[in-house]
Amino acid sequence: MNYKKYTCNALKNRLFTWVDIDTLIQKTGITQWQQLGTSYLGKPIRMLTLGTGPVKIMVWSQMHGDEPTATAAIFDIINFFIAGADENQNLRNTILSNCSIYFIPLVNPDGAEAYTRSNAQKIDINRDYVAQQSPEGKLLKQVRNDLKPDFCFNMHNQSTLYCTKNKQAVAMAFLAPPYDATLQVNWVREQAIKVIVCMVQQLQKHIPQHIARFNDAFEPRAFGDNFQAAGSSTILVESGGWLNDDEKQTIRKYNFIALLKAFEVIATQSYQNKDVINYLMLPENQKNIFHILFKNVRVKSKKGDYRLDIGLNYTEKFNPKTRTLTKLWHVEEVGDLSTYTAYTLIEGSGFYVTKPIVLAHLTNLQVFNANHQVLYSWIKGISNHKNQ
Ligand SMILES: [Zn+2]
């Protein structure tokens, strides 16, 4: 499949807003968009219906405003469906004649504009299924109740700081959310699990070591858990981390691949012979990874030198005026970090630091080599390396 052919080039980083989305919708010229309602601050929330088949699939993204990867992927998928007849016409026809797909990209346009998880009321929409205090949460619940979809896809981004038990960064994680605290698997949840198995098997051709299962603790306030309980087989998809992919454009492609495969197996019902065990065998998300890890760095000290591993992570600060993100680094942990991995793992036995290391705060850190040259430095959390 030629993914590049369908990539929606108007969305090329994580900071697009509802204005970009609306411009895009107008440009594509497809008329099947409907406005479902508005966000707390009055921005439109829209849904696109494609296909005429009896199996109903509802896909929504970015209920957390700072989790945009799948929104971009949804527009890639829409491009796939509206492209003229080409070598993928059979697949397109199979999906659209067997399924009706309801896309709701950008459930939280206020959060996307402010690049926050919450909506403008500071409510986490994905904890508002029961309380129903956010217009976005009300709308999402109402749409599912009206459509009663057979399948739901709940598209999110997870922290980049998850790895598998084999110490590989998790690029994509999946979950068929439980419908109650017993975590049992009924028919509805089993259908979701079998579709996940198909998505994972497709992704394993590309990123076999980088797929995980999300924590399946029951969350009674969340949409996925409640939709599963209400009878729609629901799949949580989480975009994670990938080396040198801050804008998640590589992971966006994996969203496209996984979603398209899901639609295909639902359309052909070929998911039905899959085994739940393949889902249960997926490694779980683990928090044993740093963004940068120095191994065996010497700390020069008047009380005698000693050696440390130094694990650093960053958070991102959004500047609403310039609409840019800045990485702010801190030392997360030091000591024996041999049970951890990192996106950037640096053998530091020839290196030393002189200042005492402060945890948790914006770091001031200089790492010297044996010739007393500064190799890496951070001042108030800002790295002097361009790519960090
Ligand atoms: Zn989320």
Q: Where are the domains of the chain?
A: 3-280, 289-383
| 64 alpha carbon – ligand 1 mean position (Å) | 5
* pLDDT higher than threshold 70 for residue 387: no
Sign of the torsion angle spanned by Cα atoms 196, 198, 200, 206: negative
| 66 alpha carbon – ligand 1 mean position (Å) | 8
The length of the chain, given as a count of residues: 388
Question: What average pLDDT does the segment 272-278 reach?
Answer: 97
| 225 alpha carbon – ligand 1 mean position (Å) | 14
| 93 alpha carbon – ligand 1 mean position (Å) | 32
Which amino acid appears at position 361 of this protein? H
pLDDT single digits (tens) 71-110: 999 999 999 999 989 999 999 999 999 999 999 999 999 9
pLDDT for the residue 388: 64
Position 385 confidence tier, pLDDT thresholds 50, 70, 90: confident
Full DSSP string of 81-142: HHSPS-TTHHHHHHHHHHEEEEEE--S-HHHHHHT-SS-TTS--GGG-TTT--SHHHHHHHH
d(CA 124, CA 129): 10
Question: What average pLDDT does the segment 57-84 reach?
Answer: 97
Sign of the torsion angle spanned by Cα atoms 235, 200, 4, 110: positive
pLDDT for the residue 29: 80
pLDDT for the residue 355: 84
Burial class (CB in 10 A: 0-12, 13-18, 19+), 182: exposed
| CATH number for domain 289-383, candidates 1.10.579.10, 3.40.50.300, 2.30.40.10, 3.30.479.30 | 2.30.40.10
| 61 alpha carbon – ligand 1 mean position (Å) | 9
pLDDT single digits (tens) 324-380: 999 999 999 999 999 999 999 999 999 999 988 999 999 999 999 999 999 999 999
| 32 alpha carbon – ligand 1 mean position (Å) | 27
| 236 alpha carbon – ligand 1 mean position (Å) | 9
Which amino acid appears at position 264 of this protein? E
Question: What average pLDDT does the segment 23-45 reach?
Answer: 93
pLDDT for the residue 178: 97
Q: Which residues contact 39 (CB under 8 A, 6 or more apart)?
A: 45, 108, 109, 110, 119, 120, 135, 136
Contact 18, 11 (CB under 8 A): no
pLDDT for the residue 30: 85
| 156 alpha carbon – ligand 1 mean position (Å) | 4
pLDDT > 70 fraction of the chain, expressed in percent and rounded:
99
* pLDDT higher than threshold 90 for residue 27: no
Which helix (H) or strand (E) segment is 38 a member of? strand 33-38
- CATH of region 3-280: 3.40.630.10
Helix (H, G, I), strand (E, B) or coil at 266: helix
pLDDT > 90 fraction of the chain, expressed in percent and rounded:
95
pLDDT for the residue 356: 85
| 135 alpha carbon – ligand 1 mean position (Å) | 17
pLDDT for the residue 386: 62
Question: What average pLDDT does the segment 268-297 reach?
Answer: 97
| 157 alpha carbon – ligand 1 mean position (Å) | 5
- Give strand pairing partners of 236: 154, 175
| 43 alpha carbon – ligand 1 mean position (Å) | 20
| 67 alpha carbon – ligand 1 mean position (Å) | 6
pLDDT for the residue 28: 81
Give the CA radius of gyration of the chain: 22
* The token pair that represents 355 in the structure block: 């200042």
Residue whose C-alpha is closest to residue 126's, from 84, 175, 82, 87: 175
Q: Average pLDDT of the chain?
A: 96
